[in-house]
Amino acid sequence: MNRRSFLPSASLGAAALSQVLAQTGAATSGRIKQSLCRWCYAKIPITELAQSAAKMGIVAMDLVAPSEWDVVKEAGLRLTVVPGPTTIPDGLNRKENHDGIEQRFKPMVDKAVAAGAHSIIVFSGNRKGMGDAEGAENTIIGLNRIKKYAEDKGILVVMELLNSKVNHKDYMCDKTAWGVEVMKAVNSPNVKLLYDIYHMQIMEGDVIRTIRENHQWIGHYHTGGNPGRNEIDETQELNYLAISKAIAELDYDGYMAHEFVPKRDPLVSLKQAVDLCRV
């Protein structure tokens, strides 16, 4: 997938893989259903990745290309946040995009629902000189055009919060308050925010307070260490144990997907992340 540019992950040796599998037994996710993002582990064959993830207690996988859906499902994982009808730069904040988005959305949802997918992703699009108020109004209109179909089909639409400071220059949905304003106006149980913890740490910080105050508008989470978007361990500034506890205490019933680019053996780092967030 070309959703984001990313650094190649470290190569995984057979010995490291065997060690990880030997350490994992019939683990569970704890109070939070944990997922992982496929693109961060692109060098690992999908069968190995899915089976290894399932043994760690991971229950789902994000951003999987349709060609790999069957393999993920065969490993007992659910499809979460499947690719949607928008791109990061070209999204819902422009009315001229709405017809095409709606036309693409319906068959994509039908295919996703047939595969048992939980959610589908959308993006606001870049500003390109547009003011945030106008962009919010247009995004609300666009989401209102697709929300009933999502409700009828029983799939969750998540619009991702991304940082515009480091990774996605000019992206409009780059602040929680802007996203929440849109969600309140759309007011659908099937349209929520994808709160990316890494991105929002860069843009505004105050992660736990923000989650507590806005959790009813959040339908999915992504992890990632800051700075660098690497392992969520002691090498970075976020306290993922505390964040995970805060999310679990809100009786959150969605998924939290690991979206960090490993600098070490990928499955070793992934297992450490799962263990850390198992609360």
DSSP the chain: --SS--PPPPP--HHHHHHHHHH-SS---TTSEEEEEGGGGTTS-HHHHHHHHHHHT--EEES--GGGHHHHHHTTPEEESB--S--SSSSTTSGGGHHHHHHHHHHHHHHHHHTT--EEEE---B-TT--HHHHHHHHHHHHHHHHHHHHHHT-EEEEEP--TTTTSTTBS--SHHHHHHHHHHH--TTEEEEEEHHHHHHHT--HHHHHHHHGGGEEEEEE--TTTS--SSTTSS--HHHHHHHHHHTT--SEEEE----SS-HHHHHHHHHHHH--
**Structure tokens, 134:** 């106008």
Domain ranges in the chain are: 18-277
pLDDT value of residue 114: 98
pTM as predicted = 0.92
Q: Band of the pLDDT at 20, cuts 50, 70, 90?
A: low
Question: Length of the chain in residues, anyone?
Answer: 279
Mean pLDDT of 260-279: 98
The stretch 23-47 carries a mean pLDDT of 87
Q: What is the mean pLDDT of residues 17-39?
A: 74
What dihedral do alpha carbons 159, 163, 168, 172 form, nearest 10°?
Answer: 60
- Higher-confidence residue: 213 or 6? 213
What integer pLDDT is reported at residue 6 of this predicted model?
Answer: 34
Whole-number pLDDT of residue 49: 98
Max Cα distance, the chain (Å): 54
Confidence grade of residue 21 (pLDDT, cut at 50, 70, 90): low
Residue 27, pLDDT score: 73
Q: How far apart (Å, rounded) are the C-alpha atoms in residues 127 and 192?
A: 21
- At residue 9, does pLDDT exceed 50? no
Nearest to 267 by CA among 3, 29, 7, 23: 23
**What average pLDDT score do residues 29-37 get?**
93
Least confident of 14-18, 68-72, 199-203, 272-276: 14-18
Mean pLDDT on 167-174: 98
**Spatial separation of the C-alpha atoms in residues 151 and 99, rounded to whole Å:** 19
Confidence of residue 14 (pLDDT cuts 50, 70, 90): very low
pLDDT digits (tens, 9 = 90+) for 129-140: 999 999 999 999
60 in Cβ contact with 257 (< 8 Å): yes
The pLDDT, as a whole number, for residue 83 is 98
What average pLDDT does range 43-52 have in this prediction? Answer: 98
Q: Indicate the CATH number of 18-277 among 3.40.640.10, 3.40.50.300, 3.20.20.150, 3.40.50.10740.
A: 3.20.20.150
Q: 219-229 pLDDT, tens per residue?
A: 999 999 999 99
pLDDT in tens, 194-226: 999 999 999 999 999 999 999 999 999 999 999
